[in-house]
Amino acid sequence: MMYELRVYDIHPGKMKAIQARFRDHVIQLFMKHDMKVTQFWEDLDEANNRLYYIVEHANLEMRNLNYERFRNDPEWIELRRITELEGPLVNKQESIFMKDVAFFKNK
């Protein structure tokens, strides 16, 4: 199993909109494309205007395939168009890829 920590720098004033988009649509779309979101956070310091979440993937190849299917999904394309009529929600996105270590088992 591999984990992808996604960090979004959100445009000012767009945090509620991006959270609503995830809550109401994107998490379900991810599941449709075999991507499981396991955690979600908002930066404690609101001035940072960042959103963080973790997606589980079987491996990097499946991650890339699933995201490709997601990005080409007509439902996502239309959702993004509608939710960004007043401009993009995300200023910058970063992905950090992680794997479990042998000495620690999270229970």
pLDDT by position in tens, the chain (length 107)? 999 999 999 999 999 999 999 999 999 999 999 999 999 999 999 999 999 999 999 999 999 999 999 999 999 999 999 999 999 999 999 999 999 998 988 65
pLDDT value for 105: 80
Give the C-alpha distances (Å, rounded to integers) separating 26 from 1, 39, 61.
22, 14, 21
Nearest partner of 91 among 11, 5, 6, judged by Cα = 11
Domain 2-99 fold is Alpha-Beta Plaits (3.30.70)
pLDDT value for 107: 59
pLDDT value for 9: 98
Dihedral of alpha carbons 52, 57, 63, 65, sign:
negative
What is the full DSSP assignment across 8-53?
Answer: EEEPTT-HHHHHHHIIIIIHHHHHHTT-EEEEEEE-SSGGG-EEEE
DSSP 88: -
What do you get for the CA distance between the two ends of the chain, in Å? 15
Please tell me the pTM assigned to this model: 0.90
Residue extents of the structural domains in the chain? 2-99
